[in-house]
Structure 1
Amino acid sequence: MAFQINDEMSPLDISNCSKESLEVKELISNLSINISNLLIENYYDFVKINLARNGNEFSVWMIYGLDELYEDDDNMEEITIGDAVFDHSEEEMNNLILYHENRFVGALAVLKYLFEIFTGSILDANFLTGTPPTQDISNFLVDVFHCEKVQQCEKVMIFQNGISSKTMVDQILDLANGLKSLDFRCPLPDDWSNPKILKLDKLVSWPSEWFTTSDLLTKLDCECAQLNETNLDCRAFKAFMLKWKMLDNTRLKMLEISFDGDWTLFNYDGLDAKKWNPEERDGHYPDLLGKPGAQWLNCEFVMDIQRDDGMLASFWRREQSFHFVVWHDRHPIATLQPDPDLLLKLEEIDFASDEDDDE
């Protein structure tokens, strides 16, 4: 049996085709189609699964509870997806609306069926909770991460509203075997700790009251990290730089930390900081925490420190944030050849004033 998929076919079109027969489903599965973007959203009365295979051109599966279905609907007709039976479905444009007695059970069944069809990799997974998270929502997210395909996803964003379950977060981190990049927007108790989160290639966390000075000095092992709303103060940043100078860490590339404080207790003692020397490095550094090919950071006006092994780093201070980059390649402009329009004019950003330092 011949079956071909063209670029115009949406994920929903492909899913509908897969239900024609077991032979067609198997043919589609054998194509190893990647999921470019998976977005799962939780709201008060429905779960929304958004799936794209080309960029951000999503197909949408919306799963409601039966209490949202009008009993006098003359067009009620059962539909089976995977191992779940839905009492009614409505297809509108590129959206499929489904009704199940338990929206989380129904959504998990849809998701598992989609993974049987789209057997390639998930390039980017995102999880959004638009309401205060309940135990049902936490259990659902953990169930999603029990799917092998989600566990192997390298890039994940978890965005939750309200107070999150630290048990849920621990379970997700333990299940996410392939995770390399995490954008983590979940408020957690100050005493929460999980070492895996500090060993990823890329970490964005907001808020980060749980991140301690000990984490910064002894546990952080990311390539790039952005930790927002920490309880640190400027003395922790100086201690970090002094320790970086003494060690041989070759993994760290970029670090940004925001805090609720000031720089009055900061001084340069022991850092041997120096101004930019154009002969030693380029004046711009790629923004590794932004999107690929995004703007570059102007480092002409920042301070440098150097280790005995020759590794060079730059740091700068803004009113309530600390920024640190390591020059593994001292001439990235020549290496990466960015568009000049991408170079950020950092000189227009307000820096912490040296006049505020306690010299």
Structure 2
Amino acid sequence: MSQPEDSSRQPPYPENQIESNDHSEALDDSSSDTTSEEIQHSPEGCLNWRVMPPDDLLDLTMCSNDLKQKVRTLVLGITRITFNDGQLAICVSNRDFDNDETRIDLEIVQQESLPSKLTRITSYLRSRIWRKFVLRKINGMDYEVEKVNHNDYGIDLTFDGFNYRVVNFRKEFIIYTHDTTTAHENVLRHVFFVFANPTPLFYLDLRGIQSENFDVPTKLVGLYDQCRQCTCLAIGVRKNEFVEQAHKTLEMMTELKNLNIDISLTETEFFSPRMCQIDHLNVVYHKNAISEKNMLSLNCETIKLWSVTITATALNLFIKKWLKSTKKRFRYLEIPIIYLDPDDSDQNEIMKDLNVKKFDDLQRAVFYKRYDWSYELNCTGQCRYINCRNGLDITRSDGALATIVSSTSFFYFFVWHERFPEQPKDHVPFCDY
């Protein structure tokens, strides 16, 4: 068994040595799929590998060590990595990070043996698709792999004058193994070696990591600069054993700016100092609490807390903290679903000692225009208009204006960096707060 490759190693083949006339190297005998046969029997096949999409290139690299080395010299980069309930999705830039990426799905299944022939026949009668299994070498280890084609459609996105396309016609590789943790590590080592562009990831989503593989994130972030320098992270902290790993992961990601956390713990509050200076913070609490101290330590541009338990006093002090400040960084705090602590749930406490005023159309517009942050694409997402006609305004000593919109079930605190932004053309009254 060969040793795992070091993903930091430089490509071994100079550019002028790749177009070799020697195409005699055969792929694995067990590689019976069409792509491998074409490479084996077609002289043109080895010359055409340069123009293949990343999912086909990944398949080739699992068939031939020679092509594994050659594909590495294309310096295609991984743009996003997403874990979702045992499935690993890797998005790869098609050519030179040209705003065009291909998604590759890899599902790692714990199974001692492949499905029986009877099971495969039954599956075929139901779906009319014959399940095909091939032997592939991933990071030097042999795995049984099933390939599936998905006929999805592409999505065109436009942002700030640039056109982006997410290519959703994709291949899925189902990898069968008796050791999923080792398989995850081998797959990640393989793809980072093959797609060796050092550009940091746009987005890393670790929310789908399973309990048996909870240490995979720290190993992933610890091994690769592309992950450590990623600026946008989504992570789940759903069990106590994930807490330590989550802290380690956050500490290692030194360039982190945008953070999406899903917290579902019992009797434990999760909070990391890294959350304090994040640009865009989104936390799903599932009724978990945030303490007054931690709430006041947040110094983010935008804060969105879902289903959080919090005290009325903490909200009051957060507003007063903004009033005493002269910084212009903060934009808004949103709590779409709020649970006030039963021991401190008086709505009047939120407005205590605050000089608030009713809406004045000479001071600001009716609708607050705000942009959701798209974590998956790590850029500004769609804009929303919030009706603040019934909100209460408060003015800071430097003239900055903010609006408080609250009830027993939600709380919003908006700062008007632009007092008269563009207003919506179509207004739906029943959406007013």
TM-score, length-normalised on structure 2? Answer: 0.67
Equivalent residue, structure 2, for 1:88:
144
Residue 215 of structure 2: which of 136, 139, 142 is its match?
Answer: 139
Alignment of 1:220-235 (within 5 A): 220-235=298-313
Q: Secondary structure at the match of 1:242?
A: helix
- The change in CA–CA distance for 1:107 and 1:283 in structure 2 (over 3 A counts) is same
Matched residue count:
330
Q: For each residue in 1:192-243, what CA deviation from the matched residue of structure 2 results, as whole angstroms up to 9, or x when unmatched?
A: 43211122111111216352111223x1111111123333222322222123
| 226-235 or 261-270: bigger deviation | 261-270
Kept in 2: contact 1:306–1:312 (CA 8 A): yes
Q: Which deviates more, 258-267 or 136-145? A: 258-267
Instruction: Say if 1:68 and 1:197 are closer, same or farther in 2 by CA, change over 3 A.
Output: farther
Shift of residue 253 of structure 1? 0.8
What's the counterpart of residue 261 of structure 2? 184
State how far apart, in whole Å, the 2-side matches of 1:22 and 1:242 are: 59
Runs of 4+ in 1 over 4 A off after TM superposition: 2-6, 17-20, 53-57, 70-73, 160-164
Equivalent position to 1:12, from 55, 79, 84: 55
Aligned partner of 1:282 in structure 2 is 365
1:271 is paired with a residue whose SS is coil
Contact 1:63 1:98 in 2 (8 A): yes
Q: In the alignment, which residue of structure 2 is the partner of 1:255?
A: 333
Could you list the runs of 5+ residues in structure 2 that have no partner in the other structure?
1-18, 20-46, 93-98, 121-131, 150-170, 375-380
Match of 2:409 among 290, 298, 320: 320
Partner of 2:252: 175
Structure 2 residue aligned with 1:354: none
Q: Cα–Cα, structure 1 residues 4 and 154, in superposed 2: closer, same or farther, change >3 Å?
A: farther
RMSD of Structure 2 on Structure 1 (CA): 3.2
Residues 1-359 of structure 1 aligned to structure 2 (within 5 Å): 1=19, 10-18=53-61, 21-22=67-68, 24-29=70-75, 32-35=76-79, 37-42=80-85, 47-53=86-92, 58-70=103-115, 78-83=135-140, 85-93=141-149, 94-118=171-195, 119=197, 120-129=199-208, 133-134=210-211, 136-146=212-222, 147-159=224-236, 161-163=238-240, 165-188=242-265, 189-207=267-285, 209-217=288-296, 219-257=297-335, 258-261=337-340, 262-266=345-349, 268-291=351-374, 292-333=381-422, 340=425, 345=428, 348-349=430-431, 351=433
Whether the 8 Å contact between 2:232 and 2:258 is mirrored in structure 1 is yes
Q: Which has the larger radius of gyration?
A: 2
Partner in structure 2 of residue 355 of structure 1:
none
Q: Which consecutive unaligned segments of at least 5 residues does structure 1 have?
A: 352-359
Structure 1 residues 17, 88: CA separation in 2 closer, same or farther (over 3 Å shift)?
closer
Q: Answer whether contact 2:218 2:249 (CA < 8 A) is retained.
A: yes
- Identity percentage of aligned residues: 19
More strand by share: 2
